[in-house]
Amino acid sequence: MRELVLDTETTGLDHENGDRIVEIGIIELNNHIKTGNFFHYYINPEKKSDPKAEKVHGLSQEFLSDKPKFSDISEELVKFLEDSKIIIHNASFDVGFLNSELHRCNLEELKEENILDTLILARKKFPGQSISLDALCRKFEIDISNRKIHGALKDAELLSLVYLELIGGKQTSLSFLDTKIIENKIEKDDYGNIDIIKYYEKKLLKDINNIDLNQIDYEKHKEFIKEIPNSIWDKIES
């Protein structure tokens, strides 16, 4: 199952008033494991960032002036996204900006059913607590010591770790299980996680390995277990 963890940096907080994307970063997961594949661009927004926004991401107008415009990378972005599940923290913010940019390029906007908001997951898991990305990293003991400024790719990387913790940890996909998962048609939840109980209910038992025992050793073993009080072997034999 392919999932994409996405983050953006912008010139300000309001795309409806002309704020634009200055950076986009996406980390690819397959069965909840990072593949090493990613999508990342700094983007020329053709305008200056609000001072408060620039203080957050540190991307000056001068730095961004020779970077591609969103229209230059839009088709590559759409191709990378495909119809994969997109994981975003506070999705309404990033999706609003992305759809605004896609609309300018006359491209199809993101589908709501493809978006999973980790802010909602975190709110359910930690009601009444701080659930910013920084706060969640601290809760899950994810190192953010080098996060002096925000960066879309860096934050997507951190969010991918937070997301795995929110849905049950790195092994939640049980990708180490064999292909009988598919053969037995194990049901999954909305996030693609395997129902482990149903897996073991349907999992085929392995063949018993027949072992040639030494008869003398076997008789000694029988005599030995007779000396064990309340032996489990007596219960098994009965």
Enter the DSSP assignment of 18. Answer: T
From CA 76, how far away is CA 130, in angstroms rounded?
A: 35
Sole residue written with tokens 């994307």: 21
Nearest to 121 by CA among 189, 171, 25, 28: 189
**Are 112 and 81 within 8 A, CB to CB?**
no
199 and 186 Cβ atoms separated by less than 8 Å:
yes
CA–CA gap between residue 59 and residue 61 (Å, rounded): 7
Closest CA to 83 of 105, 100, 108: 108
The alpha carbon of residue 105 and the mean position of all alpha carbons in its chain are separated, in whole angstroms, by: 28
Catalytic (active site) residue 150: yes
Bridge partners (DSSP) of residue 188 are 194
Instruction: Choose, from 15, 103, 150, 221, the residue flagged as catalytic.
Output: 150
- Hey, what are 36's tokens? 């090493």
The residues carrying an active-site annotation are 150
